[in-house]
């Protein structure tokens, strides 16, 4: 719509332009709200059109609201530039769009253009459903590869660096013959800047910083003055500026189009492609499936005559390859919504693979952490890669936990089912909405790579890079064993983890629409994590957190949401759980899984942490498990923390004795002593109805932290009842 309005302006068809801008502004206001930056941009554009038409009162009334937040306007100079913005399945209802205009409406052409966009990308026009991906208040589907984000950032830079308009025509006319070799030079530099993608080595791309060094405004201006096809162009200076900087409304860039044509040795066709309506926003062009001429398809205009008129299909192949190579995604985190990038198989994700994540830690730790063979520290049923994003292709602000060396984790789901991806995304976004600190794993962006030939999607999730799980933390920080100053850091991390878990257990969360199931009940849903273990507490290096970094709760892969009714129907023995850290409910005939099952598991983990702090890693991996080992009700040797006798659960006597031994240990401070009491009496309570809730636990952990902050003796001074030798 914005592009159509811009075209009307170029033709001095201001009445038609006004109609388009009114429609865009009203639609954005309805869908995004008046405060959204895109709505403010639309209002400013409309005010400008009103002024051009002499409608001063309308201009002032429209412009006042747009200018109330000028700083936000400056940050929002990116536009949803094209008709397809109305076709985003997560935002627009195509039926409403078409039915809102009758045959005599001046907006009839808009509906026609919208239908064309739908026909071009039929997979992009699903009606909103029950999945979180279809909730525009939570998820924005980025279909322009983040180009609007990149241009917004670029415009801020250009605002301060754009050279003044000058009459350079005579100088460039005189020098144009000397620029014949410039195009050749640029082509060679672009070739040399091509970078391979490790995920798919046959794909290449030009990183944004390299492109900016090669294609400068001065070079674009020199090319405009030297191209024979532009010889009759009257205002070459203005054309060069539009190619490089775009129009005042943010549209019209053609610098990448020019670079593509230079790359395929067809720079002299530049004017023909401009006349066809092709701009940077049309790129990349996708190959039409099963077309023997290998024609290319534009997401806005369907077809471009000059390009599809080339006699050799090879020319179109080269054009498509270059158009993807110059449009690698720009990945940005937005505070208002989660960014989900819709890509296709021609796209190149701008990253390099440092390593592929394997099972970590010692065999003992790996065995007790594993609930299935495909587990890793970012969740099961996936492949995880340690990656570095190319500079100039990402901007996450202060969101997340930046690794000092710039590493990220890319998780590739092995399932191609959208339901599986939606469930994982729902759990991550649900938790983050309630708990916005850094102690829940931070999801930065997601990608959906669509194979339009088969209709199959591959899903990726991008996270900050963790050094490892809690097991690895214990291995790498054995110098902290017995160091009482570490207890303050422990107190802060334990509180934050409990606060994060409280959010997962939030009393009632109305997110039923994000799940597909056969429940008839309209009750609100209850959450649980479902897989708390050392392997799901991730350890991050952090430049902003004192101490050895921070811990974050991760992998909600086994977390489920249940109504009160449905919870009672679950057979615990049929629910996945981590064997060592499972709660008694899993083994009891009438046991009911609930959020308090997580509390028992967390109590096991915290007890192991204190064991590590007082006695070292070997006690965690060998001595303590050996003490707990006994035959369970299934006839299997098990190191769980409870026993079942006559259908009643009890805390294993060996566990109670172990806790007593830790309380008598020389390194047991008042903080450790009282924490162990809470673990034994409230967290490892075999009766789930008597077990402490996550909200009560978070409050207690906060009280412990406050006591540490108020008096260092609380965590530094030895407990007065401690003996010289612990029983552990």
**Burial class of residue 419, CB neighbours in 10 A (0-12, 13-18, 19+):** exposed
Confidence of residue 105 (pLDDT cuts 50, 70, 90): very low
pLDDT of residue 577: 42
* Burial degree of 615 (CB within 10 A; 0-12, 13-18, 19+): buried
- pLDDT, residue 269, reads 98
Position 69 confidence tier, pLDDT thresholds 50, 70, 90:
very low
Residue 83: pLDDT above 50? no
Sign of CA dihedral 259, 265, 268, 273: negative
Bridge partners (DSSP) listed for residue 539? 468, 551
Angle between helix 670-678 and 653-663 (nearest 10): 160
Q: Output the pLDDT for position 404.
A: 87
- For 331-356+378-464, the fitting CATH number among 3.40.50.460, 3.30.200.20, 2.60.260.20, 3.30.1330.10 is 3.30.200.20
- Per the model's pLDDT, the better-predicted residue between 290 and 294 turns out to be 294
Mean pLDDT, the chain, rounded, equals 80
Query: CB-based burial of residue 136 (10 Å sphere; 0-12 exposed, 13-18 middle, 19+ buried)?
Result: middle
CA distance 241 to 220: 9
Residue 469, pLDDT > 70, answer yes
Q: What residue spans in the chain does CATH classification 3.30.200.20 cover?
A: 331-356+378-464
Q: What homologous superfamily is domain 468-716 in, according to CATH?
A: Transferase(Phosphotransferase) domain 1 (1.10.510.10)
Residues of the chain with CATH 1.10.510.10: 468-716
Give CA–CA dist 649/228, Å, rounded.
87
Higher pLDDT, 48 or 379: 48
pLDDT score at 5? 62
Write out the H or E segment, with its range, that includes residue 395.
Answer: strand 394-395
Is residue 285 exposed (0-12), middle (13-18) or buried (19+ Cβ within 10 Å)?
buried
- Contact call for residues 399 and 338 (beta carbons, < 8 A): no
- Does residue 344 carry a pLDDT above 60? yes
Greater confidence (89 vs 34) lies with: 34
Q: How far apart are CA 585 and CA 537, in angstroms?
A: 23
Is the CB of residue 197 less than 8 Å from the CB of residue 203?
A: yes
pLDDT at position 253 over 90: yes
**Span 668-697, average pLDDT:** 97
pTM of whole model > 0.85?
no
Q: Angle 405-410-414 (CA atoms, 0-180°, nearest 5)?
A: 160
Residue 370's nearest CA partner among 96, 618, 163, 580 is 580
If DSSP codes are grouped into helix, strand and coil, which group holds residue 335? Answer: coil
Residue 98 has a pLDDT of 37
18: left (phi over 0), alpha (psi -120 to 50) or beta: alpha
- CA distance linking residue 614 with residue 663, whole number of Å: 10
Q: How far apart are CA 222 and CA 211, in angstroms?
A: 17
pLDDT computed for residue 430 by the predictor: 64
Torsion of CA 278, 283, 289, 290, to 10 degrees: 50
pLDDT of residue 35: 60
Nearest Cα residue to 688 out of 585, 545, 548: 585
Which of 470-492 are b and which e, b meaning 16 or more Cβ less than 10 Å from the residue's Cβ?
bbbbbbebeebbeebebbbbbbb
């Amino acid at each position: 719509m914005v592009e159509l309005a811009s075209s009307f302006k170029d033709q001095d068809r201001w009445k038609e332009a006004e109609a388009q801008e009114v429609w865009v502004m009203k639609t954005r206001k309805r869908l995004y709200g008046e405060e959204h930056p895109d709505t403010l941009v639309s209002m400013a554009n409309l005010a400008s059109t009103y002024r051009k038409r002499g409608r001063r009162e309308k201009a002032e009334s429209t412009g006042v609201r747009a200018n109330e937040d000028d700083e936000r306007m400056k940050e929002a100079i990116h536009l949803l530039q094209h008709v397809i913005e109305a076709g985003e399945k997560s935002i627009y209802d195509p039926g409403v769009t078409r039915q809102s205009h009758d045959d005599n409406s001046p907006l009839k052409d808009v509906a026609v253009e919208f239908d064309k966009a739908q026909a071009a990308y039929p997979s992009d026009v699903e009606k909103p459903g029950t999945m979180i991906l279809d909730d525009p208040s939570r998820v924005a589907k980025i279909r322009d590869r983040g180009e609007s984000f990149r241009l917004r950032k670029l415009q801020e830079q250009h605002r301060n660096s754009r050279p003044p308009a000058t009459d350079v025509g005579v100088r460039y006319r005189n020098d144009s013959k000397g620029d014949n070799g410039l195009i050749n030079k640029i082509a060679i530099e672009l070739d040399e800047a091509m970078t391979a993608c490790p995920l798919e080595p046959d794909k290449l791309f030009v990183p944004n910083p390299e492109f900016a060094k090669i294609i400068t405004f001065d070079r674009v201006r020199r090319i405009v003055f030297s191209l024979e096809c532009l010889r009759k162009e009257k205002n070459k200076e203005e054309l060069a500026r539009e190619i490089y900087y775009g129009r005042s409304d943010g549209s019209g860039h053609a610098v990448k189009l020019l670079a593509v044509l230079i790359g395929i040795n067809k720079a002299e066709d530049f004017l023909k492609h401009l006349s066809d309506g092709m701009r940077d926003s049309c790129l990349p062009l996708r190959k039409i499936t099963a077309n023997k001429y290998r024609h290319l398809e534009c997401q806005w205009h369907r077809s471009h005559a000059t390009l599809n008129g080339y006699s050799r299909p090879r020319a179109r192949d080269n054009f498509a390859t270059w158009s993807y190579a110059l449009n690698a995604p720009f990945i940005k985190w937005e505070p208002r919504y989660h960014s989900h990038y819709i890509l296709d198989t021609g796209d190149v994700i701008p990253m390099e693979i440092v390593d592929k994540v394997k099972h970590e830690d010692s065999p003992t730790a790996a065995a007790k952490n594993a609930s299935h063979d495909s587990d890793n520290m970012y969740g099961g049923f996936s492949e995880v890669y340690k990656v570095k994003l190319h500079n100039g292709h990402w901007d996450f602000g202060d969101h997340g936990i930046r690794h000092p060396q710039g590493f990220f984790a890319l998780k590739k789901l092995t399932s191609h089912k959208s339901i599986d991806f939606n469930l994982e995304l729902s759990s991550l976004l649900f938790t983050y909405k309630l708990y916005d600190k850094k102690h829940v794993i931070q999801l930065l962006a997601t990608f959906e790579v669509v194979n339009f030939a088969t209709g199959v999607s591959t899903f990726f999730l991008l996270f900050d890079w963790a050094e490892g799980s809690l097991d690895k933390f214990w291995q790498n920080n054995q110098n902290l064993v017995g160091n009482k100053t570490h207890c303050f850091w422990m107190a802060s991390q334990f509180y934050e983890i409990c606060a994060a878990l409280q959010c997962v257990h939030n009393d009632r969360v109305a997110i039923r629409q994000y799940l597909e199931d056969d429940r008839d009940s309209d009750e609100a849903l209850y959450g649980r994590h479902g897989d708390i273990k050392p392997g799901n507490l991730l350890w991050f290096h952090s430049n902003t957190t004192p101490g050895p970094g921070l811990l974050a709760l991760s992998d909600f892969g086994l977390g489920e949401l249940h109504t009160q009714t449905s919870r009672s129907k679950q057979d615990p023995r049929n629910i996945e759980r981590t064997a060592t850290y499972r709660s008694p409910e899993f083994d009891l005939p009438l046991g009911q899984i609930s959020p308090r099952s997580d509390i028992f598991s967390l109590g096991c983990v915290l007890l192991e942490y204190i064991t590590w702090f007082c006695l070292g890693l070997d006690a965690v991996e060998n001595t303590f498990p050996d003490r707990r080992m006994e035959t369970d009700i299934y006839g299997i040797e098990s190191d769980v923390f409870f026993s079942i006798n006559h259908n009643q659960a009890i805390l294993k006597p060996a566990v109670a004795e172990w806790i007593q031994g830790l309380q008598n240990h020389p390194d047991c401070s008042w903080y450790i002593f009282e924490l162990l009491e809470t673990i034994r009496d409230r967290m490892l309570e075999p009766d789930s109805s008597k077990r402490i809730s996550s909200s009560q636990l978070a409050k207690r952990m906060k009280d412990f932290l406050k006591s540490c902050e108020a008096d260092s003796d609380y965590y530094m001074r030895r407990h007065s009842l401690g003996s010289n030798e612990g029983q552990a």
